[in-house]
């Protein structure tokens, strides 16, 4: 497959700045004025013996801090929903997800010149080659077998009226079984798998169905707060049949203990919408002695639409 590993850089969440962690020193600390030589100072200006106290950095946020913030925001969102509010997307700025403040422009946009490959992209780049069956089987893209639990992921792509969307290009990318992406910015100490690229694509059939064989991704740490971990997930990208149907989202796995601690998953205020991002285990889709099966339908628009990734 001709996908570009270097274009996988969707993980600015791991590279969140130290400011998002609350680990930076107090930048507002005042500078000391220059000290005059003792002979040039009048007696009244002699320095006192007091020693200034050192400036200490604020303590990093803990998981308990983040959990408390998310609980308060969930309660406020449920009050709005109970009052009749209709919420379609996660908020652009979600306080528990510290780097959400850094993930959208604050200044006017500027043109980026030079080498287009120098611009980090949100997902993989496949080029202009045809989609083949090998693209949809992430376990057969290299000479050896990838490590980890094989899974089959299948579902239907539907419009707002429940009609299948045929011939839809579905692209995915994910971490390997150790929770590491095949991308130069992912440098956390987990092993890379030389037999796993972590990207795939397919076209939906006449029933709007897609089908992937892959490896279940692992959880991984990120720098949102102290001891922050992301639940296992697979990124999906679809263009739909209209501009309003463009979708980049994440599929999660059932019963993940990290759900309650993850600010990205919990940035979706509506619990029903969060649940629609979780795949269902389907034993009939599992292959004997080969893979476990999961189903996950994607709705491109309408009141039951699959929510977009991080509200952007």
Residues annotated as catalytic are 181, 220, 230, 233, 235
- As a whole number of angstroms, the distance between CA 171 and CA 250 comes to 11
| CA 224 to each of CA 74, 210, 260, 261, 277: distance values in angstroms, whole numbers, following the listed order | 19, 33, 15, 11, 21
Determine contact, residues 18/57, Cβ cutoff 8 Å: no
Phi, psi of 196 (to 5 degrees): -140, 115
∠ at Cα 231 (137, 96), nearest 5°?
A: 135
- Cα three-residue angle 231-233-236, rounded to 5 degrees: 150
Task: Name residue 154's beta-bridge partners.
Answer: 211, 295
């Amino acid at each position: 497959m001709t996908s570009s590993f270097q274009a996988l850089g969707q993980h600015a969440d791991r590279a969140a700045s130290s400011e998002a962690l609350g680990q930076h020193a107090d930048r507002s600390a005042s500078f000391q004025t220059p000290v005059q030589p003792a002979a040039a100072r009048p007696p009244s200006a002699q320095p006192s013996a007091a020693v200034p106290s050192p400036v200490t950095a604020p303590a990093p946020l803990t998981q308990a801090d983040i959990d408390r913030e998310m609980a308060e925001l969930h309660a406020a969102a449920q009050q709005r929903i109970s009052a009749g509010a209709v919420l379609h997307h996660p908020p652009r700025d979600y306080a528990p997800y510290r780097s959400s403040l850094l993930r959208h422009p604050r200044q006017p946009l500027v043109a980026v010149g030079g080498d287009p490959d120098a611009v980090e992209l949100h997902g993989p780049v496949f080029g202009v080659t045809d989609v083949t069956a090998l693209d949809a089987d992430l376990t057969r893209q290299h000479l050896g077998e990838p490590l980890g639990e094989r899974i089959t992921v299948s579902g239907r792509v539907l419009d707002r009226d429940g009609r299948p969307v045929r011939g839809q290009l579905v692209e995915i990318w994910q971490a390997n079984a150790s929770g590491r992406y095949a991308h130069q910015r992912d440098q956390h100490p987990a092993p890379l798998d030389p037999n796993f690229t972590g990207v795939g694509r397919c076209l939906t059939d006449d029933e709007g169905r897609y089908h992937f064989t892959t490896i279940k991704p692992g959880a991984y740490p990120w720098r949102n707060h102290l001891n922050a971990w992301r639940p296992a997930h697979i990124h999906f990208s679809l263009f739909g049949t209209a501009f309003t149907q463009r979708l980049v989202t994440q599929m999660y796995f059932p019963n993940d203990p990290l759900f309650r601690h993850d600010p990205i998953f919990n940035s979706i205020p509506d619990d029903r919408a969060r649940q629609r991002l979780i795949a269902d285990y389907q034993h009939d889709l599992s292959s004997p002695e080969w893979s476990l099966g999961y189903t996950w339908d994607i709705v491109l628009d309408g009141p039951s639409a699959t929510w977009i990734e991080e509200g952007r």
